[in-house]
Amino acid sequence: MPGEGFKALADPTRRRILELLREGNCTAGELAEHFDISKPSLSHHLATLKNAGLVTDERHGQNIVYSLNTTVMQDLIGWFMGFTNTGGDKDE
C-alpha cells in the first residue's frame, strides 16, 4: 500500500508540488504557474498524488483547491524510521 506513495514521490515535479503545498493550500492554476508544463500534465500529476493519498482536493467555486495530507506522509516516514537509530527505534 505504501508503494503508491513511493512511486508518487519518484517524480521531481510531484515532489515540488508537495513542497509548494507545504507552504499553504493552492488551486491547480496557482500550482501551474510554478511549472513549465501544460495544465493537463500538471493535472495528471495531481491525480497521481491524490491517488497515492498524499493530497486531497476540494472544489471552491470555479477552483479546485489542493491540500497536503500529512498523515500519509507520516506513514512513509514510518518506513524510513526503521532504517535509522535516532528517534524512531522500534526493534533494536
Give contact residues for its own copies (rule: CB under 8 A). Answer: 3, 6-7, 9-10, 12, 15, 18-19, 22, 68, 70, 73-74, 76-77, 79-84, 87
Chain centroid, CA 47 distance in Å: 10
Q: Which is nearer to DNA, 24 or 61 (CB)?
A: 61
Q: Which is nearer to DNA, 48 or 72 (CB)?
A: 48
Asked if 53 contacts 4 with a C-beta cutoff of 8 angstroms, the reply is yes
Asked if 29 contacts 64 with a C-beta cutoff of 8 angstroms, the reply is no
Q: Which is nearer to its own copies, 34 or 39 (CB)?
A: 34
- Which of positions 43-82 make contact with DNA (CB under 7 A)? 43-48, 57, 59, 61-64
Beta-strand (E) ranges in the chain? 26-27, 55-60, 63-68
